[in-house]
Amino acid sequence: MSYRTCKEVGPLCPVEATTYGYYPNFGGNVFFTVFYGVLGLAQLGIGVYFRAWTLMVALVVGGFLEMAGYIGRILMHHNPWDEDAFKLQIVCLVLAPTFVAAGIYLTLKHIILSLGPEHSRLQPRLFTWIFIGCDIGSLILQAAGGGVAAAAGNTNVKLLNAGNNIIIAGIAFQVGHHVGVRPAGAGVLRARDSPRARIPEMAGGWGNPLMQKEDEFLVLDGMMIALALLALTVCHPGFFLRSLRKVKSKS
């Protein structure tokens, strides 16, 4: 039976036939929406205060993309067949962790500048270029895959799986370069747990049993990124790293 014409849950369009196979949990997704929204606003305020513009942009964009993704999941709670909500959440939640990771890479550069560049195997500026350069490559692949998956919506399984394979390639490249550069600097803890968890989740194709376990998604994706962004907010690098902050001196 084809579900291409399904627009809402009904006798001929059961929720079990959707990509996720469930109604996204309302309370859990509202929590993450509010949580990421608050952290995004906090990063905006702190970033303006320290005038740490590049770090601010990376973390604010990451936080607000996460928020938008969970808004999409809230909309899917009311209608799991909502294709616009599905597209919103898949694109935003695929791309957001890369921006949070970029903030960590920028912080790593300034940690090295503060502790002494002579102790590093690489020049500080190279950390940013290497990490972010590789992440941009993976981001392009993930964005392309997310775009293909979003265009497919809930019903075109063949196109969904094509987008899925592109996303997996982007995530695998991202994880691979993190393993390769780990001896040079290990500062990508929580934000990088999310991509590693997504590889087995997406390897089985859209609608596979692992993808239909929301509890694991909320813990391994939502919570890991939330912990990373929370740490970067409560212990903002601008409080500790002189080379990062550009607060105007009092006249």
Residue 5 lies in a domain: no
Residue 11 lies in a domain: no
**pLDDT band, residue 178 (cuts 50/70/90):** low
Please give the model's pTM, rounded to 2 decimal places: 0.83
Instruction: Considering only residues 231 and 151, tell me which one the structure prediction assigns the higher pLDDT.
Output: 231
Beta-carbon contacts of residue 246 (< 8 Å; ≥ 6 apart) = 50, 51, 52
Instruction: Considering only residues 181 and 114, tell me which one the structure prediction assigns the higher pLDDT.
Output: 114
Residue 174 lies in a domain: yes
Residue 177 lies in a domain: yes
Confidence (pLDDT) at 249: 47
Residue 12 lies in a domain: no
Confidence (pLDDT) at 193: 52
**pLDDT band, residue 47 (cuts 50/70/90):** very high
The β-bridge partners of 10 are: 13
Q: How many domains does the chain have?
A: 1
Residue 51 lies in a domain: yes
Residue 231 lies in a domain: yes
What's the average model confidence in pLDDT over 3-21? 89
**Residue labelled with tokens 């982007």:** 170
Confidence (pLDDT) at 244: 83
Residue 154 lies in a domain: yes
Q: Which domain holds residue 69?
A: 24-239
